[in-house]
Structure 1
Amino acid sequence: MDPLLLGSVVGLITILILFSGISVAMGLLLVSAVFLVIFDGMRSLELMPEIFFGKLDSFALLSIPMFIIMGASIASTRAGADLYEALERWLTRVPGGLVVSNLGACALFSAMSGSSPATCAAIGKMGIPEMRKRGYPEEIATGSIAAGGTLGILIPPSITMIVYGIATETSIGRLFLAGVIPGLLLVSLFMAWSIYATWRSGERSAAQVSYSWSDRVEILPRVLPFIAIIVGVLYAMYGGVATPSETAAVGALLCLLVAMVIYRLLSPRSLWAVLRDSTKESVMILFIIAAAGVFSYMLSSLFITQSIAAWIGDLEVNRWVLMAAINFFLIVAGFFLPPVAVILMAAPILLPVIVSAGFDPIWFAVVLTINMEIGLISPPVGLNLYVINGIAPDISLKKILVGSLPFVLCMLVAILLLCLFPGLATWLPDLVMGPAY
């Protein structure tokens, strides 16, 4: 069978299998096993365990559970509420200050936790009722939290960036640095839209709350230690002090200690819950990584990957038309699949295509991640929308979606700006670590 036709069949069957409700990892393993047996015979199954476990034989993978423990220890405390309250006290006099403080809290908390749903839950439980009480439109209140929660997969340390780095054998340190300026750009776009939308709506705060300087300073000791840990983790990584995995391990230990000392997270049951939840999430991600490795081997063994890359390379189209098509594919894939699954399935196929077209793989990682952010606040599987609906069940899902759409446009603007000015993603990594090529 022609490899391109076979690739279409594999893609269609994979989509149908994943839509059946089966887990992503099991679906990829099932599809891989069936096509390997059909085209290479039963002996090909002997290689599957070796490929599966070989994909996990990487020191860099140790950073994933460590960063997840960092996030879980932060998410299990009142750090999100304190972060929200601290920013609200400092920004209360800024026009649209409450929604701006919510977005700032989302950006910082998502960077610390690395979890989009956890960010929505932690900041949304405090922010949404307060914004509604002060007269902010419900669409802005819910949409800003839903969009703000997506920032954790872009702002370092980011689990999705680690997964992309492992899948494409790209420097994780460069990927983290590449997400800094685009992450700040997205936060700025979100804040600008929120301030404009609040002003346009004509709503005014129902009750202006005034805070003294002592009130503003009083809460900082509960927030600054976590922020200091994040800054320390990034300094250790880029200062040549430790590898990403070693840095993540130290960061996880420090976050646990801060949670225990400041927030009195001392009971064995609470500590067990942090480790249990971290283990579950880590195993899920590692299982998908290993299964995606088998899936990639199957595609390569049947010459599907090579044929698709060659076919796209032979197309006589402008490279920006090609990039537009890739972005459309990523957005649609993000509507239905979690970011980790999309990255592991698509990155090995797309990487040779974008490199042959003259695009920087570090820059592409940022563009891909923003596309995945769009999927987190878009139906039918937009997880953040359902988390927000759970926090405020009296607000319809339709109204939450309407409130999120302007932030989707902000993400599309960010992608456009990255296309016009790729240095937004590549300048900082090149400055800190030197040119990649």
Structure 2
Amino acid sequence: MDPLVLGLAVAVVTVLVLFSGISVAVGLLTVAAGFLIVFDGMRSLELMPEIFFAKLNDFALLAIPMFILMGASIASTRAGADLYEALERWLTRVPGGLVISNLGACALFSAMSGSSPATCAAIGKMGIPEMRKRGYPDGVAAGSIAAGGTLGILIPPSVTMIVYGIATETSIGRLFLAGVLPGMLLVGLFMLWSLYSTWRSGDGSILSTRRYSWRERLEIMPRVLPFLLIILGVLYAMYGGVATPSETAAVGALLCLVVAIIIYRLMEPSRLWVVLRDSTKESVMILFIIAAAGVFSYMLSSLFITQSIAGWIGGLDVNRWVLMAAINVFLLIAGFFLPPVAVILMAAPILMPILTTAGFDPIWFAVVLTINMEIGLISPPVGLNLYVINGIAPDIPLKTILVGSLPYVACMVVAIILLCMFPDIATWLPDAVMGPEI
């Protein structure tokens, strides 16, 4: 069978299997095993266990459970509420300061926790009721939190970036740095839209009437600063050449756990067990998907599907930006239905040869891909963040949350366009800190 036709068959079967409700990892293993048996014989199954475990034999993978534990330690405390309250106290006299506080808290907390649902829950529980009480439109209140929660997969340290780096064999340190300026760009676009939307509503309540003394502003800072200092320390250790990402992740996880125990009294064995249990579950899920995706990638390569698709696209006489637009549409659709980790691991083996042939920077593309995945988190039919917000504020209809989040989707599309026009937004900082790639 022609490899391109076979590739189409693999795509169709994979979509059908994943839509059946089966877990992503089991689905990928099932599809890979089925096609290998049919087209390569039963002997191919002998290699599957070796490939499965070989994919996990990578020291860089240690960073994933460590960063997840780091985020779980933060998410299990009142750090999100304290972060929100600290920003609200400092920005209370700024026009639209409350919505800016929410978005700023989302950006910082999502960077600390790396979890989009945890960010929506932690910041939304306080931010949404407070914004609604002061007259902010329900769409702005819900949409800003839903969109702000997506920033965790872009702003470092990001588990998604680690998975991309392992899948494409690119520098994790560079990927983390590449997400900084685009993350700030997105935060700025989100804030601009929120302020414009609030002003357009004609409601005069965007300026808070409450005043905080300097004592009230400063007294909450000791509860927030330790976590922020840990994040800065982790980034300095990586980029200062002190330690590898895996080593810094381990130290960061330990420090976050210690801070949670000392400052937030996370001493009960039952609460500590929940942190360890949840982080272990999430880590195993991601590592299982990584190993299964390794077998899936082997199947694609063994049946010459990856090579044939790359060769076919490379032979097309189309503008490379038309090609990039098609890739973005594919990623956008995939992100509507699948988690970011699954999309990256499934798409990377096929897309990387195409991207390098077309002359695109893999570091730059990581940022574009991640923003596409962010759109999926606040878009139906899956749109995980939409359902988290609906659970926090059940009296806000899901339709209102969706409509409120759509302008933020537009902001992300604008960010992708700006990255295409000015790729240095993503590549300048990695080159400035770590030197140009050779």
TM-score by length of 1: 0.99
Paired AA for residue 422 in structure 1: P
The aligned counterpart of 2:88 is 88
SS of match in other structure, 2:415: helix
Structure 1 residues 28-80: Cα deviation after superposition (integer angstroms, max 9, x where no partner): 00000000000110010000000000000000000000000000000000000
Task: Give identity over the alignment, percent.
Answer: 83
Match status 1:302 vs 2:303: yes
The aligned counterpart of 2:112 is 112
The aligned counterpart of 1:321 is 322
SS of match in other structure, 1:50: helix
Between the aligned partners of 1:381 and 1:314, the Cα distance in structure 2 is 36
Paired AA for residue 394 in structure 1: D
Paired AA for residue 12 in structure 2: L
Paired AA for residue 46 in structure 2: E
The aligned counterpart of 1:189 is 189
Residue 348 (structure 1) shift:
1.5
Paired AA for residue 191 in structure 1: M
Match status 1:252 vs 2:268: no
| 8 Å CA contact 1:116, 1:150 repeated in 2 | yes
The 5 Å alignment of 1:44-59 reads 44-59=44-59
Residue 365 (structure 1) shift:
0.2
Between the aligned partners of 1:80 and 1:163, the Cα distance in structure 2 is 26
Structure 1 residues 397-430: Cα deviation after superposition (integer angstroms, max 9, x where no partner): 0000000000000000000000000000000000
The 5 Å alignment of 1:32-43 reads 32-43=32-43
Between the aligned partners of 1:276 and 1:209, the Cα distance in structure 2 is 41
The 5 Å alignment of 1:225-264 reads 225-264=226-265
Structure 1 residues 184-224: Cα deviation after superposition (integer angstroms, max 9, x where no partner): 00000000110111111111328622111111111100000
The 5 Å alignment of 1:271-420 reads 271-420=272-421
Residue 162 (structure 1) shift:
0.2
SS of match in other structure, 2:412: helix
Paired AA for residue 160 in structure 2: T
Between the aligned partners of 2:123 and 2:375, the Cα distance in structure 1 is 19
Between the aligned partners of 2:333 and 2:99, the Cα distance in structure 1 is 29
More off after superposition, 209-218 vs 294-303: 209-218
Paired AA for residue 193 in structure 1: W
More off after superposition, 43-52 vs 196-205: 196-205
More off after superposition, 18-27 vs 207-216: 207-216
SS of match in other structure, 1:379: coil
Paired AA for residue 417 in structure 2: L
Between the aligned partners of 2:93 and 2:315, the Cα distance in structure 1 is 57
Between the aligned partners of 2:216 and 2:195, the Cα distance in structure 1 is 25
SS of match in other structure, 1:188: helix
Between the aligned partners of 1:93 and 1:198, the Cα distance in structure 2 is 15
Between the aligned partners of 1:350 and 1:365, the Cα distance in structure 2 is 11
Structure 1 residues 317-341: Cα deviation after superposition (integer angstroms, max 9, x where no partner): 0000000000000000000000000
Between the aligned partners of 2:36 and 2:394, the Cα distance in structure 1 is 47
Between the aligned partners of 2:184 and 2:339, the Cα distance in structure 1 is 23
Between the aligned partners of 1:205 and 1:56, the Cα distance in structure 2 is 53
Paired AA for residue 98 in structure 2: L
The 5 Å alignment of 1:108-257 reads 108-205=108-205, 208-257=209-258
Between the aligned partners of 2:19 and 2:437, the Cα distance in structure 1 is 39
Between the aligned partners of 1:203 and 1:373, the Cα distance in structure 2 is 30
Unaligned runs of 5+ in 2: none
The aligned counterpart of 1:9 is 9
Between the aligned partners of 1:312 and 1:356, the Cα distance in structure 2 is 9
The aligned counterpart of 1:61 is 61
RMSD, matched Cα: 0.7
Between the aligned partners of 2:118 and 2:205, the Cα distance in structure 1 is 27
| 8 Å CA contact 1:134, 1:204 repeated in 2 | no
Equivalent pairs, count: 437
Paired AA for residue 214 in structure 1: R
| 8 Å CA contact 1:136, 1:204 repeated in 2 | no
SS of match in other structure, 2:205: coil
Between the aligned partners of 2:306 and 2:93, the Cα distance in structure 1 is 55
Unaligned runs of 5+ in 1: none
Match status 1:99 vs 2:86: no
Between the aligned partners of 1:258 and 1:60, the Cα distance in structure 2 is 25
Between the aligned partners of 2:90 and 2:195, the Cα distance in structure 1 is 16
SS of match in other structure, 2:204: coil
Structure 1 residues 252-279: Cα deviation after superposition (integer angstroms, max 9, x where no partner): 0000000000000001111111000000
Between the aligned partners of 1:155 and 1:119, the Cα distance in structure 2 is 13
Between the aligned partners of 1:205 and 1:74, the Cα distance in structure 2 is 32
Structure 1 residues 260-305: Cα deviation after superposition (integer angstroms, max 9, x where no partner): 0000000111111100000000000000000000000000000000
Off by >3 Å, runs of 4+ in structure 1: none
Paired AA for residue 368 in structure 1: L
Structure 1 residues 91-142: Cα deviation after superposition (integer angstroms, max 9, x where no partner): 1111111011000000000000000000000000000000000000000000
Residue 183 (structure 1) shift:
0.3
Paired AA for residue 340 in structure 1: V
SS of match in other structure, 2:224: helix
Between the aligned partners of 1:248 and 1:397, the Cα distance in structure 2 is 37
Between the aligned partners of 1:6 and 1:429, the Cα distance in structure 2 is 39
| 8 Å CA contact 1:165, 1:175 repeated in 2 | yes
